[in-house]
Amino acid sequence: MNDSVNWEQINFTIYGSLGIFNTTLLLCIFFLYIVSLCINLFLVLVICTEARLYSRPMYMLLVNLCLSGVVGSSLMCPNIIHHLLHHGQPVFLQGCLTQAFFTNIYSGSIFCNLALMAYDRYVSICKPLLYHSIMTPGRVGLMLLVVYVVLSCSSGVQVNLITRLQLCGNKVNKLICDSLVVSNLSCRRTTVISVYGLCCAVGFIMLPCGLVILSYVHIFSVVLKKSRHSQSRALQTCTPHLVTFVNFSVASFFGVIYNRLSSDLPIVVNIVVSINFFVIPPLLHPIIYGIKMKAIRQSMKQMKNLLYKRKQRQTHWSSCIRFR
């Protein structure tokens, strides 16, 4: 990549159009980001401090889902806050490509993680006797490692292909950068980048979605043959994952439409769709699992009771010291 392109500055024109809504959006993004960060890290803390939870594959995957959400929201929110504070200060192309790299990993990791969670539910319900031999913690950890290595390599290749483009523009009508943003600024579109981007979308979005759907087809075909009680238990364990999958799939669907039509969309739609993809899913996922999964609720209650007893003990000792 030559020096002129390497130091090209990207201007985010959308921030100059906010006017009086600049402060409102800043406070809204800041609040949602802090709440999302706290909820995700709290759920990770609850699972990691409870050995009986963290040793189970489903909760290992849930921790990974929460951490992916933290990465996704941390990828977007601080950058948007920075731009809002500095009224859309330009960024160098290198910074824009870094955002694009991690955006690809964020979206791909969520879908792959949801596919692994669907497979976990499939083995648990359809092959319960083989569950502990198939879904071992070591095997789950290996699968997650493979996912992130493949995602990092594929995203790195895509960004490297984009750096070879010659740019003929530097104005972007979006909140942050992604691969399509930079490629749309190029003087001409190349078939290689378009085909590679399509292959990545198929491999990390469509394929995981297909695996989730296929897993639930098998799950429901087995569950429908069981008793009402078994059906209720299966539905209870699958509901959080299904709601999470639908939530992120809808957000991604609107994100894809947004990527193609962002220049023609009103500013409000532009902002809402971006927040819906990077902020809302990470905020809702831990809430959904915290409410729906009984084991997590019990662990939260135990942690609350432990903290209450510790506080009572400290109060007791403090009173004894004052009495003496």
- Residue scoring higher pLDDT (220 or 292): 220
- Cα dihedral value 94, 92, 251, 295, nearest 10: 60
Alpha carbon distance 204, 70 (integer Å): 19
| pLDDT for 142 beyond 80 | yes
Identity at 13, one-letter amino acid code: T
- Model pLDDT, residue 122: 92
pLDDT tens digit string along 291-307? 666 666 666 666 666 66
- Residue scoring higher pLDDT (14 or 121): 121
- Model pLDDT, residue 144: 93
When the candidates are 1.20.1070.10, 3.40.50.620, 2.40.10.10, 3.40.50.720, the CATH number that belongs to 3-292 is 1.20.1070.10
pLDDT band for 257, please (50, 70, 90 cuts): confident
What is the pLDDT averaged over residues 141-157?
Answer: 93
pLDDT tens digit string along 43-87? 888 888 877 777 788 889 999 999 998 988 888 889 888 888 887
pLDDT band for 13, please (50, 70, 90 cuts): confident
| pLDDT for 282 beyond 70 | yes
- Model pLDDT, residue 319: 58
Question: Between β-strands 91-92 and 9-12, what pairing exists: parallel, antiparallel or unpaired?
Answer: antiparallel
Contact predicate 48/54, CB 8 Å? yes
Q: Name the pTM for this structure.
A: 0.84
| pLDDT for 316 beyond 60 | no
- Model pLDDT, residue 2: 44
pLDDT tens digit string along 157-179? 998 888 888 877 778 777 888 78
Q: Work out the mean pLDDT of the chain and round it to a whole number.
A: 81
Contact predicate 117/65, CB 8 Å? yes
9-12 β-sheet, strand order = 91-92, 9-12, 171-172
- Residue scoring higher pLDDT (70 or 20): 70
| pLDDT for 308 beyond 90 | no
pLDDT band for 5, please (50, 70, 90 cuts): very low
Alpha carbon distance 23, 253 (integer Å): 29
| pLDDT for 318 beyond 60 | no
